[in-house]
Amino acid sequence: MTIVRSLLSVALVSLATSAVAQERIVAIGGSLTEIVYALGQEERLIARDSTSLFPAQALDLPDVGYMRALSPEGVLSVDPDLILTLEGAGPPEAVAVIKSASVPVVTVPESFDREGVLAKIDAVGQALGIEEEAAELAADVDADLRAAEDAAASIDERARVLFILSMEGGRVLASGTGTAANGMIELAGGQNAITDYAGYKQLTDEAIVTASPDVILLMNRGGESEPTSTDLSSQQALSVTPAAQNGRVVLVEGNYVLGFGPRTGAAARELADELYGNTVTD
Amino acid sequence: MALVQNLPTTRFGRMRAAGDRSALGRLVIATLALVLVFVSLFSLTTGASDASVADLIRASFSEDAVISARDRVIIYEIRLPRIVLGILIGAALAVSGAVMQGLFRNPLADPGLVGVSAGAGLGAISIIVLGGTALGPVVALFGIYALPLAAFCGGLATTLLLYKVATRRGQTSVATMLLAGIALGALAGAFSGVLVYMANDNQLRDLTFWGLGSLAGATWAKIAAAGPIIVLALLAAPFLAKGLNALALGEAAANHLGVPVQRLKNTAIVAVAAAVGASVAVSGGIGFIGIVVPHLLRLSIGPDHRYLLPASALLGASLLLLADAVSRTIVAPAELPIGIVTAAVGAPFFLWILLRRRGVLDL
């Protein structure tokens, strides 16, 4: 009988808490998972998507698949009571079915600027019912972002930055406008050297030369395929840019720099240091 | 096979001609029908979640048992429509493959030959890439059904164009159709390439996943849209069987046997274009079923289309359902695109059959 009674009380307690806050949350979108961890709410997370790679503990959670190719039964199988999705999660049919199972789905908008990051933190805070903690986190991130902004304010000429997503086989895939990379370059007070197109596209050699970047950011995806300065110097067009000549090539961590989550403030500050020297922000 | 040939065929008690495998055909069809029922039940009870069909049945007959709203949705809105769609599409792809191989008298013919796949792909890519800009009004009007609709229209338009190119003085040349199909495919590929180039990162990922195919988007609304088209096309198939059998002797011979060859071609092309167009539209590109299933069956029951077509429908449906069950569960709670499963399982199995039956088979 005592077992029954204690089970009953456990059930009552969990019933009471579920009335105020969801305790079985699935985070879909790497930055959302990061925010949940940064808010110290990780014990409420029960699953993540395959883009949620940070912090490392998140990897222990079940993976419900790629955020743009979700399986409705897969997501429901972990028995969630709240699903946080980043804008663009889908396919739309899958999201519609999940909603029809009366599981609340909160869609968090994404834009690659200061307001975007702060709005994300705010939205997650609201969904989790911890607005105050979220406001504190947002203030911290904002302070870093403003520090990066100030670093650039005192500079007359903004550094021209070329972001290279990959240079497989000597083909340079570089960021144009409208990307997370473009947003990060602007947050750090630089200017994107490529503004002729939107998205990540292959850049012709001559355009690389005429873009004449002061700094080159190379994305490090981890593993064997990490680009090296040898790759860079063997690429004729890149090797004649001011960035390569002055050795200003920075290897950046993909989900740190492009994630637009709680670490974005720090990432922008570090990048500003790289661009203008750390005398300004310290 | 050797056993059949060694039987004394001179006995008058045996009325059937040597090589007549119609009894075997009937047996195989009956077996495959049973297999399909079994596979469907298996699919319904398998999934990433622990939603139980037994509980659902118990809950609908007894007051005491209850089933959660979540499990009800999983079974009625996720698994059941997927199974129905899987049966329809598996049958459509396999029958279309068999019909195309018969029509083109070419073992490599595949449902994509009538240009449907390339055109459907172009339609789908257009919506994915231009849905937010140039084709915005279409998306606003049809919502999430804009993509399947565009894929279907693209497939149909390509087939019609191909048919026009290949038809002269009321005669359709299958050889011209084959070659023009390759040219049109390349052209559609070029247009698709332009759109892929214009696409942003997210669109590129959507494109990749669409190309790998999936039954994950199965909803009753999609079945209501694609189902009738596929069923109509499948119902036309039995009427093609005798004509396709005669066509195996060549077009002239079929004509002399009284087969209305041109009408046969028209019906076959329209049926295949409709069935494959509707399938590709709702599930993306699912390869291999159209090639493997008819060949597997020809090896066992022979080339007689009267048995080959229904058997293809049943086996195609079962295979696609099994592939889908794998795709739903192997990386659960995530999902593997079904095109990967059909090719990864189908191709080695097909090779194995070819190696084993090398002596018998003469393509």
pLDDT in tens, A239-249: 889 998 888 98
Q: What's the gap in Å between the CA of A213 and the closest CA on chain B?
A: 23
Note the pLDDT of residue A91: 85
Report the Cα–Cα distance between both ends of chain B, in Å, rounded: 17
Is pLDDT of A100 > 60?
A: yes
Q: Tell me the C-alpha distance between A92 and A98, whole Å.
A: 10
Q: Tell me the C-alpha distance between B45 and B362, whole Å.
A: 41
pLDDT band, residue B1 (cuts 50/70/90): very low
**Where on the phi/psi map is residue B320: left (φ > 0), alpha (ψ -120 to 50), or beta?**
alpha
Q: Taking CA atoms, what residue in A is nearest to B214? A: A69
Block residue for tokens 């403030």:
A265
Phi first, then psi: give them for residue A165, nearest 5 degrees: -75, -45
Which H or E run contains A175? strand A172-175
B73 closest CB neighbour out of A62, A69, A100: A100
B324 touches chain A (CB under 8 A): no
- Cα angle, residue A73 at apex, residues A70 and A78 outer, rounded to 5°: 95
Q: Copy the structure tokens of residue B205.
A: 């990922």
Q: How far is CA B62 from CA A3, B56, B65, B77, B241, in A?
A: 29, 10, 6, 22, 48
Is pLDDT of A3 > 60?
A: no
With beta carbons less than 8 A apart as the criterion, state whether A217 and A267 touch.
Answer: no
Beta bridge mates, A161: A192, A215
- CB-based contacts of B292, cutoff 8 Å, min separation 6: B319, B346, B349, B350
A77 closest CB neighbour out of B200, B217, B332: B332
Residues 53-72 of B with CB under 8 A from A: 69-70
Is pLDDT of A156 > 80?
A: yes
Note the pLDDT of residue B67: 79
- Per CB-CB distance under 8 Å, the chain B contacts of A73 are 47-49, 51, 74, 78-79, 328, 333
Q: What's the gap in Å between the CA of B209 and the closest CA on chain A?
A: 7
This model of the complex carries an ipTM of: 0.73
Q: Do A74 and B202 touch (CB under 8 A)?
A: no
B334 touches chain A (CB under 8 A): yes
Mean pLDDT score across all residues of chain A: 85
A71 closest CB neighbour out of B48, B69, B144: B48
B335 closest CB neighbour out of A65, A93, A101: A65
- Per CB-CB distance under 8 Å, the chain B contacts of A179 are 201
- Per CB-CB distance under 8 Å, the chain A contacts of B76 are none
B133 touches chain A (CB under 8 A): no
Q: Tell me the C-alpha distance between B26 and B66, whole Å.
A: 43
Q: Do A101 and B197 touch (CB under 8 A)?
A: no
pLDDT band, residue B108 (cuts 50/70/90): confident
Q: What's the gap in Å between the CA of B71 and the closest CA on chain A?
A: 8
Q: Taking CA atoms, what residue in A is nearest to B75? A: A73
Q: What's the gap in Å between the CA of A70 and the closest CA on chain B?
A: 7
The single-letter code of the amino acid at A64 is V
Instruction: Spell out where chain B has E strands.
Output: 167-168, 171-172
Q: Do A96 and B197 touch (CB under 8 A)?
A: no
Q: Copy the structure tokens of residue B72.
A: 């009800």
- Per CB-CB distance under 8 Å, the chain B contacts of A64 are 333-334
Which H or E run contains A72? helix A72-77
Name the nearest CA neighbour of B124 among B133, B135, B114.
B135
Pairwise pLDDT comparison (B60 vs A180), residue with the higher score: A180
- Per CB-CB distance under 8 Å, the chain A contacts of B334 are 50, 63-66, 71, 74
- pLDDT tens digits along B140-160: 888 778 888 888 899 888 888
Note the pLDDT of residue B14: 45
A94 closest CB neighbour out of B216, B331, B337: B216
Helices B174-198 and B116-130 pack at an angle, to 10 degrees, of 20
Q: Do A50 and B216 touch (CB under 8 A)?
A: no
Which of A51, A59, A71, A197 would you mutate first to test chain B, the one with the most B CBs within 10 A? Answer: A71
Report the Cα–Cα distance between both ends of chain A, in Å, rounded: 64
Domains of chain B: 22-66+80-356 (1.10.3470.10)
A/B interface, count of CB pairs below 8 Å: 106
Q: Tell me the C-alpha distance between A68 and B210, whole Å.
A: 11
Q: How far is CA A158 from CA A155, A181, B92, B103, in A?
A: 7, 16, 60, 67
Boundaries of every domain in chain A: 19-145, 157-276
Do A19-145 and A157-276 have matching folds? yes
Is pLDDT of A6 > 60?
A: no
With beta carbons less than 8 A apart as the criterion, state whether B123 and B151 touch.
Answer: yes
- Given the candidates 1.10.150.120, 2.70.98.60, 3.40.50.1980, 3.40.30.10, the CATH classification of the domain at A19-145 is 3.40.50.1980
Q: Tell me the C-alpha distance between B86 and B80, whole Å.
A: 10
Q: Copy the structure tokens of residue A134.
A: 């979220």
Q: Tell me the C-alpha distance between A39 and A32, whole Å.
A: 11
CATH superfamily ID and name for A157-276: Nitrogenase molybdenum iron protein domain (3.40.50.1980)
Q: Tell me the C-alpha distance between B260 and A277, whole Å.
A: 83
Q: Tell me the C-alpha distance between B103 and B259, whole Å.
A: 13
What is the DSSP annotation of B194-239? HHHHH--HHHHHHHHHHHH--STT--HHHHHHHHHHHHHHHHHHHH
- pLDDT tens digits along B197-245: 888 877 888 888 888 888 887 889 889 888 999 999 999 999 999 999 9
Mean pLDDT score across all residues of chain B: 86
Is pLDDT of B360 > 70?
A: no
B205 closest CB neighbour out of A68, A71, A76: A68
Average of per-residue pLDDT across B53-79: 83
Reduce the DSSP state of residue B49 to 3 states and report it: coil
The bridge status of strand A172-175 relative to strand A160-166 is: antiparallel
- Per CB-CB distance under 8 Å, the chain A contacts of B206 are 68, 90-91
Burial class of residue B355 in the structure, from the number of CB atoms within 10 Å of its CB (0-12 exposed, 13-18 middle, 19+ buried): exposed
Q: What's the gap in Å between the CA of A150 and the closest CA on chain B?
A: 31
Which H or E run contains A84? strand A82-86
pTM given for the model: 0.80
Q: Is the peptide bond before B107 cis (omega within 30 degrees of 0)?
A: no
Instruction: Tell how far CA B175 is from the center of its chain.
Output: 23
Which of B43, B70, B327, B338 would you mutate first to test chain A, the one with the most A CBs within 10 A? Answer: B70
The single-letter code of the amino acid at B21 is R
- Per CB-CB distance under 8 Å, the chain A contacts of B197 are 201
Q: Do A76 and B217 touch (CB under 8 A)?
A: no
Q: How far is CA B274 from CA B64, B107, B111, B112, in A?
A: 47, 21, 11, 12
Q: Do A68 and B79 touch (CB under 8 A)?
A: no
Q: What's the gap in Å between the CA of B215 and the closest CA on chain A?
A: 10
Q: Copy the structure tokens of residue B140.
A: 């606003």
Q: Tell me the C-alpha distance between A18 and A24, whole Å.
A: 9
With beta carbons less than 8 A apart as the criterion, state whether A65 and B334 touch.
Answer: yes
Q: Do A97 and B219 touch (CB under 8 A)?
A: yes
Note the pLDDT of residue B346: 80
Beta bridge mates, B15: none
Q: What's the gap in Å between the CA of B154 and the closest CA on chain A?
A: 21
